[in-house]
Amino acid sequence: MSTPTSPLVRILFSIAGCAAMLAVAPASAADAAAAKKTVTEVCQACHGADGNSPSGDFPRLGGQHEDYLAKALRDYKSGARKNPIMAGFAATLTNKDIDNLAAYYASQPAVVHDKF
């Protein structure tokens, strides 16, 4: 015996299915690969291509939490975090650039140096 399913029930199930798919998608669809150009042209001069500059003058970004990096860049951009060097670079970045750059550096290895 087949169970009759009303069209309304089927619609509700498909809506629930779509919602479930959206829920499992990552919160930000950041594209780490898209950041590579900016990293090569701008950021690597100080932070290194993998975010692990050997110089103590520049914070290491490799392996840092993605949300921390994105917040730092947004704060430089808004002026909530003040640094004359980073303010200039962050000012040129879009929200999407920031997400991509944060994803890129977060995906790099974290390298620990104990002394310079």
CB of 94 to ligand HEC, least distance (A): 11
Nearer to ligand HEC, 8 or 112 (CB): 112
CB of 41 to ligand HEC, least distance (A): 9
Nearer to ligand HEC, 89 or 107 (CB): 89
CB of 107 to ligand HEC, least distance (A): 13
Nearer to ligand HEC, 14 or 83 (CB): 83
User: Which residues make up the interface to ligand HEC (CB under 6 A)?
Assistant: 38, 42-43, 45-47, 58-59, 61, 69, 72-73, 83, 85-86, 89, 101
CB of 26 to ligand HEC, least distance (A): 20
Residue 36 φ then ψ, to 5°: -55, -40
C-alpha distances (whole Å) from 49 to each of 10, 15, 24, 25, 75 are: 51, 44, 31, 28, 22
Rounded to whole angstroms, how far apart are CA atoms 96 and 98?
5
Closest CA to 42 of 108, 116, 115, 98: 98
DSSP state of 33: G
